[in-house]
Structures are given as C-alpha cells and as structure tokens.
Amino acid sequence: MNTPDPQINDSARPVIRQLDDAAINRIAAGEVVERPASAVKELVENAIDAGARRIGIEIADGGKTLIRITDDGCGMSPEELPLALSRHATSKIDGSDLLNIHTFGFRGEALPSLGAVGRLSITSRAEGHDAAQIKVAGGKMEPVRPAALRSGTVVELSDLFYATPARLKFMRTDRAESQAISDVIKRLAMAEPSIGFTLRDVSGGGQGRVMFRADPLSGDLFDALHGRLASVLGREFAENALKIDATRDGIRLYGYAALPTYSRGAAVAQFLFVNTRPVKDKMLQGALRGAYFDFLSRDRHPAAALFIDCDPEMVDVNVHPAKSEVRFRDPGIARGLIVSSLRHALAEAGHRASTTVGNATLGAMTPEPVAAPGMPPRVYQMDRPSMGARGASYAAQRPADLPPSMGFSELAECYSGQLVEAPGPPSDAGQVPAPGAEQLPLGAARGQVHENYIIAQTADGMVIVDQHAAHERLVYEKLKNQMAENGVAAQALLIPEIVELSDNDSAKLLEVADDLAKFGLGIEPFGGGAVAVRETPAILGEVNAEAMIKDILDELDDQGSSQLVQAKVEAILSRVACHGSIRSGRRMRGEEMNALLREMEATPHSGQCNHGRPTYVELKLTDIERLFGRS
C-alpha cells in the first residue's frame, strides 16, 4: 500500500511558497535558541557589546519562565527599538565586510527569534533620549511606549517556547537548565574580567539566591585574568596554573594552563577563547591534548583557560548561527603555537608539582578531635614538673638495654633521626649533602622509609619523594632526549604492506606522512586510494600496519591530528624507563638519595611520573605544626 507523502500536495509537483516572517523567526529560533542557556548567552553578549560594566542576570525555573538581563550599557533610542526586533538588523556591522568582526553579535537574529517563541520585553534608555519600552509575544509586536529607566537596558524574556510547545518537551530539569546557564555566564565572565556579573535565581519570587557573582577587576591583564579565574575556577586552579604568553605570525596566545599533576578525570576544565569569544573547536582542543600528551595518561585531562587574539580577518566566526565554532585561515599556526607554548611553559616549571598534592596529604592526617562545646580546651603544654617527676619520667622512658647513667644527650647520638650512611664504597652519583643543601628546592635527604620513600628536609618544611616514580621519569626524559637527537630507527619491510583506503582517507593520511616518518612509519601512495607501508618503527617490533593505519585515521577524524605512532613509541620508552629505574624496596645510601634530588631539580617535568602522578609531596612546616596544635 502506498502511503502519501505529507510534504507533497495533490498537484503534479510541489509548489514553492514564501514563508511569513513569524514562521521564519521560529525556524531561526531553532538554530539560535536551543535551550534557555542559549537565550542567556545571546542577551548577555548583546549587553557586553553595548559597553556594559555590570550585568545582572535573573532566571526562574531554569530560565523557562523568566530570563531578565539588566545592564548599564549605552542603551537604545525609542526609534531603534522596533528595528532591533527586525531580522538581520544590527549595529555591529554594516554588511560590507563579514570578516572584520570585533563584536560578539553581528547576525541580527537573536532578538526577533526570541520574540517569536516567547514573550519578550525590552526597556532601554540611551543618553540624550527618554526611556522607552517595546513588547513582542509569539512574533506579534506592540507599539513603543514610554517607560521609566535611568540608563542602560533591561531585557525580559518570559514563557520561553510557549509559541512552540513541542520544544518544551525537550527541556531538561530546572536544575540542569540552571547549571547550563551558570556555565555560560562563567565562560563569559572569564572572557571579560573588567565586567561584573551577577547571576540570581528568583524562582518563587523575592530577591532569590545568588548563584554566581564576579566583581569587575582592574589593573594588568594577567592580574585581572588570574583573579577572575580564581573566582570562577577556584583558588586551587589559580595556585597551580602556569602563565602563558606567546606570539607567532600575528597570533597571540595568553592565559593560564594547570600543571600536569592538577589534572581532571574529564575535559570539563578546558576553556578556549578566540578574540574573547568562547568557542568549542576540535582543532584547538586537540592541540591542548597534544601539549600534555607526554605528561598525562589517556584517562586524565588537562585544565586550562587559553585566549587567542588575532586579526579578525584571520578567523571566520560566521560558521554557525550559535557562533560557537570558528575556522582559522591557517589552523596549523594556531595549533603549533598552543603546543609549543604550553610545552615551553611546562618545561620552565621544572620539577614543580601542584599544591593540591600536599593539601591532600595533610587532609589524610587526621588530628585528634577538638574539645566538645562547653568543655575546657585541650592542654598541649603542661606546667613545668618538679625535678623528681622529671627524673622518674626519664627513667621510665629510657630503653631497657641502656645503662642508668646514660642521659638524653647520649641518647641523641644513638637514636637520632639523622641520615646514617650504610657501610660500603661511596657511589659515584654524589656525596653527602653539601652545606646549605636544605636551601635547595627539594632540600637535603634525611632518611628513607619502607625502602621506597625518601624524606628530605627543606628550609621551610619537608619533602617526601617516591624514589621509583622519580627515577622512572628521569630515565624516561633521558631516553626521549636520545631519541630526539638520533631519531626513531625505522625497520624496512621486506614486502611493503598495501592498505586499501578510500580516496578521501588516503589523501588525509598522506597529508601527515612527513610527521609519521619522524617516528619511523614510512608510507607512500600506491595508486587509487591505496597506500604502501614501507617502514615501521623498529622499537615496536612486529606491527599490524593495517590496524595502525586505520587507528591513525580514526584519530585524525576525531581530533584533527594523530599522535598514535608517537604514543606507541613513547609507551615503549616508558616501559624501558620503568624497568631501568630504581626499584621499590631498594635501600639507598645518602649520596644516592641526594644525587636523585639534585637531578630532579635539574630535569624538566620531574614533578610527575610518566602517567601524570606526582613524584613528590611537599609539606610546609607551618602546616605540620598546625596538625600538632602548635600554631
């Protein structure tokens, strides 16, 4: 039985019709306004483009019933209000050049789209003009009327999607929509440290509760950005982030990137901006992963807030109605700048590890509970005892195998915590700690516990080093340097392996052939879509070339670049480093421990092992004293 197509009428062919403005706006709203967070993004970006210094955002029921944006920007005159609700009417561009864009908005679609699917009210006052208000509901516009407002603009959107009730069925819970709105505001707050943002949930009426607040900051760019990131991402990120500032071929990269030991279980703390516009770009995210590729395991993700500034003509932001995607004229420059700048910053960080490691260690040390309310505080320093009481105490604490005449001055020589050199010939790795070694970053070794952890004393605290993880990283860095100097040895195949691919996949693979050759994988075209694999990395031994080629293509499709061969080669180096490093359970002499500490200080990235875990923990003396109630 033939079912009639509902899209075709009874005539011999379909008839082309011109849709009315209301239908056009509702269709556009489906692209621009996906959920309440999309509406908030568009309205807040308009406020930023208007030069606002403070922006207030109020929402109710996750933005479904109310979104109110209040700003102190330049405002609009009564004559401009109807024009603002017309499609493709904007003050951002004149239409002659779609590449030279310096503002967030420029398409002129947001306000008419919102008015087509909800009840929209705009009250505004420009300098030298009276305040005015205009309303539109379901695409039907009311005339402009006078209003009361001192300055700026108030945009109120209520009953979002009431004109398209089917869209309401796809909305998530109020809590989820509120969280999405909060995420949007936080991204915009990071992009504009000089602007104050206040997000308030007014569900149920009244003043509501403040969900997020960021006061405007002034001063140096990096100081303001650092302060804003501390308030948005938390103080821990700010304390463990490295400053990034580099320029190449007219593109500037700046911002902050966290240490590898401050990593996350998912890519939830990666924020990328192009000309202060928050974007989600696979190429940029792939570059960020590539920069941390050698420092994190596959299940860990870096944290960073990076800003790219360039001439607007070098990047196309008119890719998607939501303006969340961009296209660079030369994406290789932007990607290379991110990778090289971050790796340089991580190398300059040396052996530094995140402070969260020490904080977690202190958190694991639970002090005695404090006194209950109403009870006298615990006394840690007792009154000075009498001479008889002290003598009895000393006698009770004296080990049984010591003569009674031996006092505490002699006990210090037998039972001190000092580092005692084990008998045997001295190692060539180093000598006992030199005078002043405690002033060095990792201090002077004072002992070894459980044949795996080195205890070192610094000028203001102590350091606990995992000897196996630390030495594994040092050996790994040496192997990598040797590979960089001598290259990756390639094993020529007696019979080249032919891999059949589509023309598109073949062209994509051959574009990165030179990069693959650096790691010992030699490929060349073999006619049609086929490629011939003539060489494989010798260090990998026997390789399934076809499976490797297809894995590389999958990575190129997903991330825009492939590091599969490099990962396999460096995984072998990592295993070699693991087997060639100091094993857990080996008792080390004092000079060996100090030599390891000095080498860690001189080797970049020694603060984390090959999998991103810390190689040492630093505890400040003030924190240790606080554990014992001495502060």
Tens-digit pLDDT profile for residues 217-267: 988 889 999 999 999 998 889 888 899 999 998 899 999 999 888 888 888
Using alpha carbons, select from 105, 89, 100 the residue that is nearest to residue 43. 105
Distance (Å, whole) CA 466 – CA 579? 16
The predicted structure's pLDDT at residue 576: 65
User: What per-residue string of b and e applies to 599-611 under the rule 16 or more CB within 10 Å gives b?
Assistant: bbeebbbbbbbbb
Alpha-carbon distance of 553 to 526, in angstroms, equals 17
Low-confidence ranges of the chain (pLDDT < 50): 1, 94-95, 379-384, 406-418, 420-422, 424, 426-431
Indicate the fold that domain 221-349 takes in CATH.
Answer: Ribosomal Protein S5; domain 2 (3.30.230)
Coil, strand or helix: which one is 493? strand
Positions of CATH 3.30.565.10 in the chain: 21-212
Closest-CA residue to 570 (of 473, 480, 475):
480
Strands 196-201 and 54-60: parallel
Determine the pLDDT at residue 149.
92
pLDDT of residue 31: 63
Structure tokens that stand for 268 in this block: 């939830």
Q: What tokens appear for 46 in the block? A: 């308009």
Q: What is the model's pLDDT at position 320?
A: 64
pLDDT score at 356: 57
Phi/psi of residue 499, nearest 5 degrees: -115, 120
Straight-line distance from the first to the last Cα atom of the chain, in angstroms, rounded to the nearest whole number? 87
**What's the pTM?**
0.69
Range list for CATH 3.30.1540.20 in the chain? 389-631
Q: Which part of the chain has CATH 3.30.230.10? A: 221-349
Q: Are strands 490-499 and 461-466 parallel, antiparallel or unpaired?
A: unpaired
Could you say which DSSP state residue 431 is in?
-
pLDDT at 408: 45
CATH for 389-631, options being 3.30.1540.20, 3.40.190.10, 2.60.110.10, 3.40.50.170: 3.30.1540.20
Q: Which fold has domain 21-212?
A: Heat Shock Protein 90 (3.30.565)
